[in-house]
Chains A and B, each alone.
Chain A
Amino acid sequence: MKLFEFQAKDAFRQCGIPVPSGVLVESQEEVSNALQDICPPCVIKAQVLQGGRGKAGLVKLVKTNDEAREYTRFLFEEKGVRRVLVEAAVDFKDELYLAITVDSAKSKAVILACAEGGVDIELLAATAPEKIITQMVDLDQGLSGFHLRNTAFGLGLVGDRAKAFNKILSSLYQAFRKFDAELIEINPLFLTDGEVFLAGDGKLIIDDNSMSRQPGYEVTRDHYEHEVEYQAALAGIPYLQFDGDISLMCAGAGLTTTVFDLINYAGGTVANYLEFGGPNYTRAVDAMELCLKNTRAKVILIVTFGTVARADVIAKGLADAVARFKPSIPIVTCIRGTNEEEAFEIIRSLGLTPLSETEEAVQRAVDIAAGRTS
């Protein structure tokens, strides 16, 4: 789960990483109060989850109260932003990049640092990888002095500046562990005129499998591009919305992704990717309800080949869903796996044809969507 900047900075603060003073406002009425605490010049930052906010015009340095109010009004009213961070402007003489993420092949945490802050690290990794300092850390060994020295000296930091940097890196590692981070990033890390390091921006992605032990964070509508994606997330069913017209209701992530490919190969387009495998295989009713919310869909394509996700259970769920929603669009099924013979019987009783070849089912759905058959 990706956190908002203000949440990431709260986490930084808890672990001793200094951040510029700031006030979070959730409506235009709160802006004047915030400006009493944080006097211009200050930076107004839309709290949205997309990257590249500067380029998108969602961050602005303002010099007066009027300019601040005008810009927050623009963000709230014209951009539909829900929260805005009003933050003190920082006079800095240098900016760096610092992050910790996971190297899955080596099975260690990895520190990434760069003497040039504000960079697009993925672009830099592709174009000038020698500028990035990487340092692996074994989680059971923990962060050690040599990790700090390799990073700080690698950045060309010495003396008090290196000491101050090491404090930041130690705190960042502490936050990485405490918040079960997939990625924790300070970009840019400001070095102020007063020789203090300050986190200019904050990015923190918490591992989804660790959310149960990271209370206090809830998914919000901002985490999703589409309303149905948000509703599906609340229901605990993986769902992605696209612009096409074939609604996928499949079990198993790998199989659903493959069906997605096969539809594209066959000249069809996907309305939504819905995956109800794993513990969700008994929830065909919920799955179909979500699929039917997608008004672009011209056909629902159900493909499963399950083990624990038994075919007969899925077919029964489908029968319940059909009885409940009486969908007006056609359904193509390719439900196989454990107890598939019983599943085929149930599907026939619904007046549907139980297909058992994925590519045949995909072609059928593509033909229906194109109006070539029904």
Chain B
Amino acid sequence: MSIFIDTTNKVLVQGATGKEGSYWTKHMQDMGTNVVFGVTPGKEGQQVEGIPIYHTIRRGMRDHEADTAMLFVPPAFTKDAIFEALDAGIRKIVTIADGIPLHELLQIRSAALSCGAMVVGGNTSGVISPGKAMMGVLPYWIERVYKPGRIGVMTRSGSLTNEVTAEVVKAGFGVSTLMGVGGDAVPLTRFAEILPLYQADPDTDGVVIIGELGGTMEEEVAEAMESGVFSKPLVAFIGGRTAPKGKRMGHAGAIVTGSKGTVEAKLDALTMAGGLVAKKPSLVGPMLRELMT
């Protein structure tokens, strides 16, 4: 099995006719994702990679069933596009948009929480269950990273994900589902909200989280472990241990202010909860082996 996405999801693609949208929609299909229709206002009647395009989700839903939405929509229009998907009853949504305004992130997350939807992103590469289906811009063809297997991966980063996941595969494991929650200051879905899905998945034996300095998502994972919500083996890699305080290291979410968000705080919390925290990406594989045998 896997979580969030597999071959049974019926995926609609918002922004499917754009350059990036059409390129990655084809890759999503090539990998096995069941893409049912696309949406671009004003372009109904067109086709992208054999997929019919509609003006709106409502119009698409008259002809097709869909339960999942993938957005290739610019940040300024993302709130509207997500609200459209929620309005149409879609409860699984992935947005890769990088640069969604802060206040709109709050409104989107608030709306998603109030209707029980899971919106993943923004500023992410997406979500993938290797060998089954993919939503986003993930290079599933790189075999030393995206090998099917039984380890769940959650990440705040893009390129670091390739780096760390390659170490998971090198150690003899593979990936059940990789969830990119993104690097924004307000991730629309947080690590701890995904953990119950991995816990319930019989085909996920353990989880690797790829975190970084800033925010409190890693601490929330530790709380979920302490409270028993998550009890499978967990290894974390957290970037930014040597980052100077007050400097924003790339991602909007990657900044330490006051006593909150330091890597030490995350490390302590996760270790206390029974997880292992790798100092270097190359230690993630061996640590995973240690916990899994």
- Chain A positions near chain B (C-beta within 8 angstroms): 102, 104-105, 107-109, 122-123, 125-126, 138-140, 177, 180, 182, 207-210, 212-213, 238, 240, 251-258, 260-262, 264-265, 273, 275, 277-279, 304-309, 336-338, 358-359
Contacts and interface: CB of A to CB of B under 8 A. Distances in A.
A105 B157 CA distance: 18
Interface in B269-287: 279-282
Given A138-B110, A254-B183, A256-B250, A105 B220 contact: yes
B163 to A, nearest CB: 5
24 contacts: A102-B102, A104-B215, A105-B220, A107-B110, A107-B186, A209-B99, A210-B101, A212-B76, A251-B159, A254-B155, A254-B159, A254-B160, A255-B159, A255-B160, A257-B212, A260-B240, A261-B239, A265-B242, A265-B279, A305-B162, A306-B162, A307-B137, A307-B159, A308-B125
A173 to B, nearest CB: 12
Interface of B: 20, 75-76, 98-103, 105-107, 109-111, 113, 125, 137-139, 142, 155-163, 166, 183, 185-187, 190, 210, 212-213, 215-216, 220, 237, 239-243, 247, 249-254, 257-259, 279-282
Most buried by B among A180, A207, A257, A337: A257
Contacts of A305: 159-160, 162-163, 166
Contact of A261 (B183, B186, B241): B241
A257 B101 contact: no
Contacts of B279: 265
Contacts of B258: 122-123, 125-126
A180 B157 contact: no
A254 B110 contact: no
Contact of B186 (A104, A253, A254, A359): A104
A177 B107 CA distance: 12
A261 B240 CA distance: 6
Given A254-B158, A337-B159, A308 B254 contact: no
B102 A182 contact: yes
B179 to A, nearest CB: 15
B102 A180 contact: yes
Most chain A C-beta atoms within 10 Å of own C-beta, residue among B98, B210, B213, B251: B251
A257 B163 CA distance: 12
A320 to B, nearest CB: 21
Contacts of B210: 254
A208 B99 CA distance: 8
A102 B107 CA distance: 12
Nearest to A240: B247
A368 B215 CA distance: 36
Contacts of B142: 337-338
B72 to A, nearest CB: 12
A225 to B, nearest CB: 10
A355 B165 CA distance: 18
B281 A358 contact: yes
A108 B106 contact: yes
B266 to A, nearest CB: 14
Given A182-B185, A209-B100, A257-B250, 12 more contacts: A123-B258, A126-B259, A251-B159, A258-B163, A260-B243, A265-B279, A265-B280, A273-B250, A275-B250, A305-B163, A307-B159, A359-B282
B102 A253 contact: no
A91 B106 CA distance: 39
A255 B210 CA distance: 11
A177 B258 CA distance: 24
Given A209-B252, A359-B280, A258 B101 contact: no
B282 to A, nearest CB: 6
A350 to B, nearest CB: 22
A207 B102 contact: yes
Contacts of A256: 249-250
B242 A307 contact: no
Nearest to B250: A253
A185 to B, nearest CB: 13
B48 to A, nearest CB: 18
**Most A C-beta atoms less than 10 A away, residue of B210, B239, B241, B282:** B239
A101 to B, nearest CB: 10
Given A261-B239, A307-B125, A109 B281 contact: no
B126 to A, nearest CB: 10
A277 B102 contact: no
B145 to A, nearest CB: 8
A139 B162 contact: no
Contacts of A207: 101-103
Nearest to B242: A264
B239 A258 contact: yes
A257 B159 CA distance: 11
B210 to A, nearest CB: 7
B59 to A, nearest CB: 27
Contacts of A177: 103
A108 B186 CA distance: 10
A362 B258 CA distance: 30
Contacts of A208: 252
B29 to A, nearest CB: 17
A348 B259 CA distance: 46
A260 B162 contact: no
Contacts of B216: 105
Contacts of A338: 139, 142
Nearest to A305: B162
Given A209-B75, A273-B249, A254 B157 contact: yes
Nearest to A137: B106
A257 B213 contact: yes
Nearest to A123: B258
Q: Which of A123, A262, A309, A338 has the most CB of B within 10 A?
A: A262
Contacts of A265: 242, 279-280
A299 B230 CA distance: 45
Given A104-B215, A108-B110, A255-B159, A307 B101 contact: no
Give me the 5 closest cross-chain CB pairs, A-B, nearest first: A253-B250, A254-B157, A252-B159, A254-B160, A122-B258
